[in-house]
Amino acid sequence: MRILAVAWLLAVLLGASANADEAALSFVWRGQVRELPKETLRAACALAVVEVDDPYYRTRKRFRACPLQRVLELGFGDPQVVAGQDLLLRAIDGYTRSVAGDQLLLAGAHLAFEDVDHEAGGFFPIDRRQLDPAPFYLIWEGEGRSDTSAWPWPYQLRAIEIAPFEARFPHTVPEGASAESAEARGYALFRRECFSCHAINGEGGMVGPDLNVPQSITAYRDVEQIRAFVRDPATFRYTTMPSHEHLSEADLDDLIAYLRRMGQLQHDPGGPAH
């Protein structure tokens, strides 16, 4: 049942309509998928105007939005089911953000339906790619919450899934690494900083390239170049990849250790053996 449900969800995501009025938000838990149309959510939410410091528009923005706790209640029946759980926030473009359920229960999290200042009732184009953020945009009210490395701000949000991370993405785990090792620390960093856009062994985000198959990035990129690119990719090319100047040299050491370890644990779902 779980395989069928996940396959159905992927089909929904890949076939999502560009028409925001026809959009829906999917809630996935224990192999079951519940889909709520945008207008159903709108009617049940009593939207209010929320003003935030937006990290992508880089200015103060006003949105019509619903408290995320209310959205979780509508989708899962009880918002507290996400407490202590790993969640995945999936976007239409392949972005997949791993987040702790406890964070999503904090006050200040809202699901935005539209930009107050957009006369047509939608959103203005966002980020360097100038994408439409519809159908939904997760925003955060409150000082200090515009840091996208610490607070999830997915736009084009299409699904919220309750899923134990290591069970859902087993081939990202650095098997054999001790909990105190550089590889384990690098794994935690990869989950927090990289997983949203990049996959390991075919598991993870689909915005950027897979970092382990068919070859590990450490097999064809100089380590110092990898470190420099992660730190400030805009010095190499025009890209939507954010800088990671907040990472320490020790953080980068751990990330490289993880990538090297995964290079020894390759599992290519698109390879000839599969």
* Domain ranges across the chain: 2-165, 170-263
Instruction: Return the closest-CA partner of residue 87 out of 66, 109, 108, 56.
Output: 109
pLDDT recorded at residue 273 = 53
Q: Per-residue pLDDT for the chain (274 aa), expressed as one digit of tens each?
A: 333 344 444 444 444 444 444 589 999 999 899 999 999 999 999 899 999 999 999 999 999 999 999 999 999 999 999 999 999 999 998 899 999 999 999 999 999 999 999 988 899 999 888 999 999 999 999 999 999 989 999 999 999 999 988 988 999 999 999 999 999 999 999 998 999 889 999 999 888 899 999 999 999 999 999 999 999 998 998 888 888 989 999 999 999 999 999 999 999 988 765 4
pLDDT recorded at residue 1 = 33
Write 269-272 long-range contacts (CB < 8 A, 24+).
269/201, 269/202, 269/213, 270/202, 270/213, 270/214, 271/213, 271/214
Token pair belonging to 5: 């449900």
Residues 6+ apart with CB under 8 A from 111: 25, 41, 45, 65, 66, 67, 68, 71, 136, 137, 138, 139, 157
**Single-letter amino acid, residue 191:** R
What is d(CA 148, CA 246) in angstroms, rounded to the nearest whole number? 12
Residues 6+ apart with CB under 8 A from 71: 25, 41, 45, 111
Q: H-type helices in 2-57, by residue range? A: 2-14, 38-45
- Strand locations in 56-168, DSSP E? 59-67, 86-91, 96-100, 109-115, 137-140, 157-162
Inter-axis angle of helices 182-193 and 249-263, nearest 10: 100
pLDDT recorded at residue 22 = 59
Out of 2.60.40.420, 2.40.50.140, 3.40.50.300, 1.10.260.40, select the CATH number for domain 170-263: 2.60.40.420
pLDDT recorded at residue 17 = 41
What does pTM read for this prediction?
A: 0.79
* Coil, helix or strand at residue 220: helix
Q: Which fold has domain 2-165?
A: Sulfite Oxidase; Chain A, domain 2 (3.90.420)
What is d(CA 152, CA 72) in angstroms, rounded to the nearest whole number? 16
Instruction: Return the closest-CA partner of residue 267 out of 188, 210, 212.
Output: 212
